[in-house]
Amino acid sequence: MRLNGNFKFLILMGMVVLAGLNCRKPYLPPATKLDINYLVVEGVIDPGNDSTIIKLSRTVKISDKTSANPELNAAVTVESDAGATYPLAGAGDGRYIATNLNLDIQHKYRLAITTADNRSYKSDLVEVKNSPPIDSANYLLKNDGVRINVNTHDPANKTRYYRWAYTETYIIHAIYNASVEWVKEPHDTIVFRTADHQIFMCWRNENSSNIVLGSSSKLQQDVITQNQLLSIPSTSEKIGDRYSILVSQYALTREAFDYWGQLKKNSEQLGSIFDAQPSELTSNIHCISNPAEPVLGYVSVGTHTVYRLYVDSRKLPNWIPTPYTSGCFTTSYALQNASGQNDVKLFIFTGLAFPIGAVAPPGGPITGYITSTRECADCTLRGTNHRPAFWTDTDN
């Protein structure tokens, strides 16, 4: 059989590629030995009546078993350009708190930190930028779920740069509704659950992990319209019953806006050669005792405003949420099986099975109990069964 020129060329190229594959050797880069232990500063100095909460921690390696490394026993103060100081009290877990600072908004302020090992850090003096009120938050129906937006404006046209954070609270359900519970003391027994012990419906909280920014700097009026906070898929259990989002709005300086924008690009918009490439963050916090030491974070000063929005599944299309877990099943155990053994004692009172219901013939005594796993029947593993104080069941 005679081969044409194109076919011969393809065969030749294939041989070259195969040869190259055979010659390639895996490259295993040496593990870094750098002891990266940088200070991370999170929080906003609130000049008004709200609490100022500053969280201090240290960076950890990806290979470390822990993801949290709080900076404990530090001395943290707010300093003004007029020389006044305002101490923050340690609240544990790397958090430092002050309430009702009532700062004069005509002055500039910074954060000063001295760690337990006597390393000193200070942020730049920054102006107070108080947030205007949030006009509204709303949701829009999409084919694949719900999009939540925020709207705001500053009549004085002075804010221009905004950041939003949020806390989601939503109802979750266990796969099975447990009507009974195992009580160990004073002796092993199974009783029917009271209303305050129900574990079928809970409330779950999640804080925002994405960075949401907005700017009106290129507009004549300081107006932000339909700025997207997040999207919720139609299959999410967040909107399977009732959902609430508390939106917090912060006013930023241009420098703070640039910092958060760069952080967003570095943390959320990487993954392909067409995405913005990572670059060094320019923090306004500096190590005074060692100017070469990087510090992560950006300190802003200003009050924030909030707005709460509810989304009720009854007003949404008939979307079906994906169960949070799969493989749930039930098993029944008798008080006395065919061999005369008490399976309830063997399986439930030893914690091997989780009771969810009683087995009894109509009008007869209980003969055993239905069980599953706790993961399938106890919503308190993922939330709380105590109703939040702010929660309402209907929209006003």
The one-digit pLDDT tens for each residue of the chain (396 residues) are: 444 444 444 444 444 444 454 555 555 555 555 567 899 999 999 999 899 999 999 998 777 777 789 999 999 999 999 999 999 999 999 999 999 999 999 999 999 999 999 999 999 999 999 999 999 999 999 999 999 999 999 999 999 999 999 999 999 999 999 999 999 988 999 999 999 999 999 999 999 999 999 999 999 999 999 999 999 999 999 999 999 999 999 999 999 999 999 999 998 865 544 455 555 788 999 999 999 999 999 999 999 999 999 999 999 999 999 999 999 999 999 999 999 999 999 999 999 999 999 999 998 999 999 999 999 999 999 999 999 999 999 886
Q: How many CB atoms lie within 10 A of CB 229?
A: 21
E strand or H helix that includes residue 12: helix 5-23
Say how far apart CA 217 and CA 223 lie, in whole Å.
10
CA diameter of the chain: 94
Name the H helices within 243-347. 254-268, 343
Q: How many CB atoms lie within 10 A of CB 44?
A: 23
User: CA nearest 335: which of 323, 348, 318?
Assistant: 348
User: CA nearest 301: which of 85, 42, 44?
Assistant: 44
CB-based contacts of 111, cutoff 8 Å, min separation 6: 41, 45, 54, 76, 77, 78, 79, 121, 122, 123, 285, 299
- Strand 180-183 to 189-192 pairing: antiparallel
Cα-only R_g, the chain: 29
User: CA nearest 135: which of 305, 390, 303?
Assistant: 305
For 19, left (φ over 0), alpha (ψ -120 to 50), or beta? alpha
Instruction: State the first-to-last Cα distance of the chain, in angstroms, to the nearest integer.
Output: 83
Look up tokens 């305002």; give the residue: 86
Q: How many CB atoms lie within 10 A of CB 234?
A: 19
